[in-house]
A and B are shown apart, each in its own frame.
Chain A
Amino acid sequence: MKYFDRLHPAVAFVYFALMIAISMLTTNPVVIAVSYLSSIVFCGMLIGGRQLMVSLAYNLPLLILLSATNPIFVHKGETILFFLNDNPVTKEAILYGVFASMMIMSVFYWFKCYSTVMTSDKFIYLFGRIIPKLSLVLSMSIAFIPKLKRKYKEIDEAQKALGIYSGKGMVDKIRSKFRVLSILLTNSLESSIDTADSMRARGYGLKGRSSYAIYKMTASDKILCALFILVGTASIVLIVLGTVDFNFYPTLSPISLQALQIVAYAIITAFAFAPTILEVKENVLWRCLKSKI
């Protein structure tokens, strides 16, 4: 189990919300690059190297494609590199395209981390009291998907065994799919009513019902949450105040490295890599303890 998985859901939620906001709030290339790298590294730790490679194999070409569209549409910027169909292609537009798509990708990876860590039971735990119906309908729809897939297979096999269709030939295949889907809809609607009645029989929606929760806010959770809020808000304040403002057009603004900027970059980098560092620290600690036993 990963360290971030074991944290109190509120702590993880606060972190992801702040980090996604930071990634989207600025066009500063340093911040975007830091967010991009850290999101990919952390995502790799959560889902494993092989899965990360699969997703990168799909996302890197997309990144290049997205980057390439910007200079085709936008002709702002002063450093003209060459002409394409009589339209100037500028260095600024190319770089803007690269960093804008990197920003989108970093948000994508942060959301991927989020959905790996924040499973629907955690979401219900956090929001079940504020929005009980919404979180219920959300988690039910998620739960229905593997259920429906399994049911589809069952119905398909039963129909085949009954000799209703052979599943060979294009027309027969499509007809069979349609038939199974239609059975599946009736079946799942009916059985869902059973589920609902059983829920009502057990007192769903009555006042004063408590819900089962295994999460406890420990002292270390509280400290970590406070740290996240402090560092994350500090980063956002620095960004909103314009400390790390960066313009691509008409010319690239220089990346100034005065004391304030260095502090801002350091804070943001520390915040972005915090989950990775925590995860590594936990792994190292585990190794040390293991060898002592």
Chain B
Amino acid sequence: MPGKKQKVKKAIGLAIMLVAIPLLIVLGVWLFEDRKYNVISMVIALLSCVPFFIRFEKGKNGAREIVVIAVMTAFSVIGRLAFSPIPAFKPVTAITIIAGIALGAESGFMVGSLTAIVSNIFFGQGPWTPFQMFVWGILGFVSGAVFYKKQTPNRWILSLAGLVGGVAYSLLMDVWSTVSMEGSFNFVRYLSYVGTSLPFMAMYAVSNVVFLLVLAKPFLTKINRIKTKYGIFQK
């Protein structure tokens, strides 16, 4: 019975990712309370991506799977580029969520985090890159973890996912804004940042819902067709 053993292994892996990483962040806050927090937080964000990257590297993904992940990443980068004139109205989170639903949690993480690296080649790399890598990655991961093995989610669930994704993205990126200006995590300041970014948060959430409603069905149909045709990303 390899199935059961694999399941247990996977559950443990999931627990490590979802519990150990936040723990690492808390530990970082506690250990390096006041000094150079901007660097440390950047390193933590980067380190948080490492377990996912290792899993991808050690995983049994073949050339076909890798190439499909690259195509999805390129699509989401192009989406970000195409909508660059409108602030905060971007299809990236939506495409990442779709990738998670269609290709699974780990591939969803890869699409999200790679989008951050690649699109920032055009928008500018900086200390924010690891944060975006982690935040988009984890959004793809969670959507994969929740939806991958289930039936295609309906409109309401998709809209809810988009809403949650937008709020989560905004809240997590505000952590970066706070840390980068303050050098430490000041909760009052964080709240004020969250306050000033509320319109952006709304915009993120609305754009996610719009893009998910428009793109999810055709994209999922197309990806599922490729999956069945070539026998890749089989559950």
Contacts and interface: CB of A to CB of B under 8 A. Distances in A.
Asked if A and B are interacting partners, one says yes
B84 interface: no
Contact of A136 (B66, B73, B180): B66
A141 B74 contact: yes
Contacts of B230: 193
B46 interface: no
A145 B180 contact: no
A186 B229 CA distance: 12
Given A73-B192, A141-B77, A200 B126 contact: no
B118 interface: yes
Query: What secondary structure prevails in chain B residues at the interface with A?
Result: helix
Interface residues of A, number: 50
Contacts of B86: none
A99 to B, nearest CB: 11
B222 A189 contact: yes
B67 interface: yes
Nearest to B59: A133
Query: What secondary structure prevails in chain A residues at the interface with B?
Result: helix
A24 B42 contact: yes
Interface string A132-159: 1110111011101101110000000000
A108 B61 CA distance: 34
B39 to A, nearest CB: 5
Interface stretch (A6-14, A45-53, A111-119, A253-261): A111-119
A144 B62 contact: no
B183 A27 contact: yes
A73 B170 CA distance: 19
| Chain B: number of interface residues, binned into ranges | 35 or more
A131 B57 contact: yes
A283 interface: no
Contacts of A186: 222, 225
A123 to B, nearest CB: 10
A114 B77 CA distance: 20
Contacts of A138: 114, 117-118
Interface of A: 21, 24-25, 27, 66, 69-70, 73-74, 97, 100-101, 104, 107-108, 111-112, 114-115, 131-134, 136-138, 140-142, 144-145, 147-149, 178, 182, 185-186, 188-190, 192-193, 195-197, 199-200, 204-205
10 contacts: A25-B36, A74-B189, A100-B180, A144-B70, A149-B78, A182-B218, A186-B222, A189-B223, A192-B71, A196-B64
